[in-house]
Amino acid sequence: MRNIFLFIRRYFNLIFFLFLQGFCIYLIVTYSKYHHAAFSKTGLEVSGYFSKQYNEVEYFFHLKKTNEDLVKINERLLNAQRQNFMQPDTASIIADGPVTNDTLEIHRKWLYRWAKVVQQSTVNQSNYVILNRGTSQGVSQDMGVVDINNGVVGKIVEVSNNYAAVMSLLHKDSKVSARLFKSPEAVGTIVWDGKTPNIVQLTGISKSAKVVKGDSVVTTALTATYPPGYLIGVVDEVIAEKSTNNYLLKIKTTVNFYNVQMVMVIDNLQKKDIEELENKLKKKTL
Amino acid sequence: MSSLVKNIVRFALVILVQVYVLDSIHLHQVVTPYLYFLFILWMPFKMNRTWQLVIALALGLTLDYFRHHPGFHAAACVLIAYLRPFLVNLFIPQEGAETNYEEPSVKSMGGIMPYFIFVAVLTFIHHGWLFLLQAWQFGNIWYFLGNTIFSTAISLVLIIITELLFVRKQKFRTNTI
């Protein structure tokens, strides 16, 4: 017994060092699995606060560009207004089904909330974008995030009271269902190989599909995170995989991840219903 | 300024510079400049070794929380903090230099070469271990090798610039107290 204590005293630093290394590796492994460690909420809150302070200075230099973007969006929205279109004769409207048009609020599926980016990264192999909105402002996990030019940014994986961490498309675990704009039947998955920022890969497109360089890649209706039809990017390079019957497409993203300033957080208001349905289905099969 | 206050200010400075200046520099995807671990290299000689490990862990975790993936930098920091006293013993020129000077620098290590080798070895170990852990998670051996070599080179250049810009005055103290 005495020898054990002597041993521990003699090699205390080594044992302590090995213990700390083990602790770090434990953190890496658990965090890779579950995306949010037990005490990272506080971490997000504190680092978010500092990033916000820094961003208040940095944002000043982007004001010009943000202003231009806002004017462009206003143009798009003005063009989409109903008064720009000729109204058809009201008598010719065909009533289809029992859905009433005036109770719009009940049938709303997607709700948009603006958010300001306070920190973004592209240097890691798992990149996050930090937003200045959290649970207090109605943001919760698994919501989709798009930028103001309708390009997909990513999905929220971690929320604290006032900040949210978005797993951007430039993340090794990011998987987004996507299709080609011109051939809607070609549905695949967007992943990132961790090499070049702003270039992601679209996998799972079979060689029978018509693939053109320069075609747009958009989100599908298969996910509950993003509304269908949001831009992910443009086909930059087409590579035929030799071992499989699939293409590997390199996609230039619509969002410039080096500089995202304003984004929209998209809430799927019908997600609860879908989840309930899935749970019922699971119970039935059991 | 007392040693404690100086080190607290230094801790905050290296983290802020790393997160808001160096992390937003996009040289190349393979090259990531690091400077924050200079805090560990500059820790006082006299500090308790257990405390050195704890402080290194705190430094690494702080940076990790800014990058939202805890563990990687903390592991690398703890490793170099553990190896640092051995290297100091190896490179320090004469017996008792640790007691005459406060912390490692060109002057206290007795010349540019020993200090530079001391810094270079620890930088290489830090980067190697950091990128090895990342390669274990993400799996790409060539990416790992390129990353380690180029990032070490860039970090060393940055450290030399820092040493030239911010000259640390090292008082010679005799151990007659």
**Burial of A203 per CB tally in 10 Å (0-12, 13-18, 19+):** middle
Helix A12-34 with B112-138: angle, nearest 10 deg: 40
Q: Which residue has the tokens 């996998």?
A: A203
Tens digits of residue pLDDT in A253-269: 988 888 888 899 998 88
Do A16 and B50 count as a contact with CB atoms less than 8 A apart? yes
Whether A164 contacts A156, CB under 8 Å: yes
**pLDDT band, residue B176 (cuts 50/70/90):** low
Label residue B116 exposed, middle or buried (CB < 10 Å: 0-12, 13-18, 19+).
middle
Task: Report pLDDT digits (tens) over B116-147.
Answer: 899 999 999 999 998 888 887 666 778 788 88
Contact at CB, A47 and B68, closer than 8 angstroms: yes
User: The tokens of A230 are what?
Assistant: 């949001």
pLDDT at B128: 92
Task: Determine whether the interchain pair A13/B50 forms a contact, defined as Cβ–Cβ distance below 8 Å.
Answer: yes
Task: Give the chain B residue whose CA is nearest to the CA of A38.
Answer: B70
CB–CB contact A43 B133 (8 Å): no
CA contacts within 13 A on the Cβ side of A218: 15
ipTM above 0.85?
no
CB contact under 8 A, A31 and B137: no
Note the pTM of the prediction, 2 decimals.
0.80
Determine the pLDDT at residue B158.
92
**Ranges in chain A, pLDDT < 70:** 32-39, 82-107, 286
Q: Is the CB of A128 inside 8 Å of chain B's CB atoms? A: yes
Instruction: Compute CA distances A142 → A16, A158, A164, A165, B83, whole Å.
Output: 39, 9, 11, 11, 42
Across B31-68, b (16+ Cβ under 10 Å) vs e yields bbbbbbbbbbbbbebeeeeeebbebbbebbbbbbbbbb
Which has the closest alpha carbon to B87: B43, B50, B55, B128? B43
Chain B's closest residue to A12, CA to CA, is B50
Contacts across the A-B interface (CB distance below 8 Å): 95
- Find the CB nearest B53 among A17, A32, A43: A17
* Contact residues, chain B, for A130 at CB < 8 Å: 68
Alpha-carbon distance A13 to nearest alpha carbon in chain B (angstroms):
6
Q: Looking at the partner chain, which of B50, B82, B138 has a beta carbon nearest the beta carbon of A125?
A: B138
DSSP, collapsed to helix, strand or coil, labels residue A38 as: coil
pLDDT score recorded for residue A106: 59
CB B93 within 8 A of CB B106: no
Query: A108-139, pLDDT tens digit by residue?
Result: 788 888 899 998 888 777 888 999 998 998 89
pLDDT tens digit string along B36-65? 999 999 888 888 889 999 999 999 999 988
Nearest to B23 among A14, A123, A125 (CB): A123
Structure letter (DSSP) for residue B31: B
Residues in chain B closer than 8 A to A61 (CB atoms): none
Q: Do B71 and A31 touch (CB under 8 A)?
A: yes
Q: Which residue in the block uniquely carries the two structure tokens 């990513």?
A: A154
